[in-house]
Structures are given as C-alpha cells and as structure tokens.
Amino acid sequence: MKTKLTFTLMIVLSILLAGCDKDDLKIEETGIDLINYEFQESQAENKEVLNGIFKSMSTKSSTDVFNTITGDIIGESTLHRNSNGITVNFKTTHLMPGHAYTLWWVIWNKPENCLIPGECTEADFANAINVEVQLLYASGHVAGNNGKGNFSAHLNENDDTGSIHELFGLPNFGGLQNAQTAEVHAVLRSHGPKIPGQVSEQINSYEGGCTTFLPPFTEIPDEIGECGDIIAAIHRT
C-alpha cells in the first residue's frame, strides 16, 4: 500500500512542478526527496521480510535406504532442512536382531567440488580439503527381534559435536556449514552382536566393541567384534 501511494504522490508532484516558479520548485524537490526516501525504506523493509521468509523455509526430501553390499532397497530416509540445521528420519529393515548399530552423518559441505559435481562418493574423501567433508555421530541403538530400525537425529549448523574426523586423518571443517546446500549421506554401521558391558560404547561410538574392521561396503558383520558400514541413504540438493 505504501509503494502505490508513494508512486501516486510522485505523479501528482510532477504535474504540480510544471506550473511552479523557481522558489516553489525547491520546496517540491524537497518533497520528492522525502518520497524517494520513503520508497527506498519500503523496499528495504520488503527485502528484509523476504529474507526472513527464505531463511525460515523448511525443505523435505525422501530417498531410498539401501544395502551397500547387495544394492537392495530396504527402507526410506527423510531429511528436513531449515535455518537451524537438518533432521533425519532413517527407517530400515533387514537388521540382525540383537546387533548394535550406529548412524553417522557424512556431510559434504562443498558438493560442487566432488569428482562428479553434486554426486559425492567414497572416492571424494581423497579430496577432503576441497569438498570439506565432515563425519559426525547421529544416533544408535540395538535392533529388536523384528529386524527393523528407526533412527532419528538433528544436526545444527556449525556444530561439530560427535565429529570423528581425527580417526580418518581429516581436517575439522566445523560440522555442517549450510543446511540448504550440503550433500548429506546417512550411513548405518553395524557393531556386530551386542556385547554385555559394552552396549553403550557400541551404540555411541564408531569403534565401540570393534576388534575387526571390515572394509566399508564389502561384508556384513555377523561375529562379535566385527564392525562395518553396510546401509546408507543419500540426500542430494
């Protein structure tokens, strides 16, 4: 409403100026300056409102959860992004009852620098400096008798709590830098059968209960002490 009114006043003033003498013109010029200021102020307010709307917008994406060894689709992962960070709900089946599992964030802060821009893979860990990849703990628990797992976690921007970059000799890039532009992989790790007295460690750390580290995505852990990354979901922007 303010913009329309200001525009109308400017037209009226321009008409009046045609019949004004030099002294009147100075007065009217001052009025035009005031109107221009109000117009610019209105535009700035509109821009601030729009920026607030865009910042608070929440986006949602869903993608398949798959067994990285067999390629079978065994669940669904949903990712919410907003100005605060990201939230994942990772649902899967085909878990081994009584086995301990942890879910991990793999955050590619600069996916445009991956070997295939916007499609980051394990090979891009060799280019960690440019892709600014960060690995962080998300969630964990022991699978029930039905073999189903439901893992949920939230990660704030610029929060590197639970980072395991040191285990892989990676620099710390400060966690999630931009919730709207990062490529997010959720990776489920098996820690084998639960071990009495070590369950808390198994479901809260990357190396908990592990004596044998199976190469990622090659073999399903089934013995006590065997650990390996076996299930994943990929959320691209």
| Domain harbouring 174, CATH code | 2.60.40
Q: Are 52 and 121 in a shared domain?
A: no
Which residues, at least 6 apart from 121, have a Cβ–Cβ distance to it below 8 Å?
A: 114, 115
Q: Are 140 and 29 in a shared domain?
A: no
Interior angle at CA 152, CA 149 and CA 153, nearest 5: 145
- Which structural domain range is residue 126 located in? 59-235
More confident call, 42 vs 141: 141
- Residue-averaged pLDDT of the chain: 84
Q: Are 143 and 47 in a shared domain?
A: no
The number of folded domains in the chain is 2
| pLDDT range class, residue 217, cuts 50, 70, 90 | confident
Quote the pTM value. 0.76
Q: Are 166 and 124 in a shared domain?
A: yes
**Segment among 116-130, 191-205, 210-224 with least mean pLDDT:** 210-224
Percent of the chain at pLDDT exceeding 70: 76
- Write down which residue in 11, 37, 56 finishes a domain: 56
Strands (E), 21-148: 59-67, 73-82, 85-92, 99-108, 133-142
d(CA 139, CA 181): 23
Q: Are 181 and 87 in a shared domain?
A: yes
Q: Are 42 and 117 in a shared domain?
A: no
Q: Are 45 and 122 in a shared domain?
A: no
User: Could you tell me which residues are beta bridge partners of residue 59?
Assistant: 81
Q: Are 138 and 197 in a shared domain?
A: yes
Which residues, at least 6 apart from 11, have a Cβ–Cβ distance to it below 8 Å?
A: none
Q: Are 13 and 118 in a shared domain?
A: no
Distance of CA 57 to the CA centre of its chain: 13
pLDDT at 195 over 90: yes
State the CB neighbour count (10 A cutoff) for residue 163: 19
pLDDT of residue 13: 36
Here the tokens at position 57 are 């917008």
d(CA 211, CA 220): 15
Mean pLDDT throughout 66-74?
95
Q: Are 127 and 229 in a shared domain?
A: yes
- Dihedral, CA of residue 12, residue 17, residue 20 and residue 21, to nearest 10: 160
Q: Are 115 and 81 in a shared domain?
A: yes
Q: Are 34 and 100 in a shared domain?
A: no
